[in-house]
Amino acid sequence: MLSPEEKVKLVEELADEPRLLERLHELGIAMSTYYSWKRRLAARGVAAFIAESSAPKGVWNRLTQAERDLIESEARKHTELSPRLLAVMLTEQHGIAVSESTAYRVLKA
């Protein structure tokens, strides 16, 4: 595996190579990989080759604090409702879609 600096050096060295395909074959690099590296280098420079985390940046369906507060306040108003019925009521009356298990988890905390 090549380091980011080695990739940059390789792309720059091969830019004027008359026998590019043969040279890439000798190095064991696919032509599509070379051109991908070349595009990335042109677009973002050396930073394009520094590994970035592929972990999600955030959770798309996390409840906001306002939604948690609404679940708790509605549960206090309607103590007779189970978490399932509370979830249905919140969806119908307030337009926030929460599952029964989410309502239960918020109330349990």
Tell me: do 10 and 38 sit in the same domain.
yes
In angstroms, the CA 11 to CA 2 distance is: 12
Tell me: do 39 and 75 sit in the same domain.
no
Tell me: do 11 and 35 sit in the same domain.
yes
| Any domain includes 60 | no
| Any domain includes 26 | yes
Question: What is the pTM for the complete model shown?
Answer: 0.51
Q: How far is CA 52 from CA 5, 35, 47, 55, 57, in A?
A: 15, 20, 10, 9, 11
Instruction: Look at residue 78 in the predicted model and tell me its pLDDT.
Output: 96
- Inform me whether the pLDDT recorded for 17 exceeds 80: yes
In angstroms, the CA 51 to CA 44 distance is: 13
| Overall number of domains in the chain | 2
pLDDT per position as a tens digit, 56-86: 778 888 999 999 999 999 999 999 999 999 9
List the domain range (segments joined by +) for residue 18.
4-49
